Amino acid sequence: MSRVVVGLALAALMTVGLGGAAGTAGAATHRAVPEVIKVPAGNKRIALMPATGVQTYQCTAGAWTFVQPDAILRYRGRAEVLHSKGPVWTDVADGSSVTAAAQGSSPVPNAIPQLLLKSTGNRGPGLLAGVTFIQRLDTRGGVAPTGTCVEGATASVPYMADYAFWAAV
């Protein structure tokens, strides 16, 4: 996806708001975490980062199918982590990264689901080098378009979420 499309989508996200200020996706207002996406014992949360971005879909065989996420996560008040296809999270300050696969999902009305993801690979050293689990929490927006579509068309739908990063104790 081009940087222009991502930039326009992020600008749109900041304009629309999705129910909260851009870059502050509810970090202080987490609701109870559903059992299906709780992190197993033996892990501690090392970071909680609000994210703003887009979920990109493409029209394939007459239906919208998920292609990839593109988001910027903030840590300690600054843009710190890029989230992209893989899924992968890369810390732009220290170069560490983590890839992960979904382990659990909890639906959210009118939004992409909350997720529990388990690390499938880390690169480091750095903040993300020891991440074992990631939770996507308090999601807003990002749902695939509905209705008919033109083959090959793409749509980048703004979303917000909080990402909690966990490491083994």
pLDDT at 30: 61
User: Where are the chain's structural domains?
Assistant: 3-22+34-168
**Single-letter amino acid, residue 135:** Q
Residue 127's CB is within 10 A of a number of other CB atoms, namely 23
pLDDT at 66: 98
| 133 half-sphere exposure, CB direction, 13 A CA radius | 19
Cα 131 from Cα 134, distance rounded (Å): 8
What is the pTM (predicted TM-score) of this model? 0.83
Cα distances from 71 to residues 80, 82, 106, 157, in angstroms, run 11, 6, 20, 11
**Single-letter amino acid, residue 55:** Q
Kindly list the averaged pLDDT for each block of 10 residues, start to end, along the chain of length 169.
40 37 41 94 98 98 97 95 98 98 98 98 97 98 96 98 98
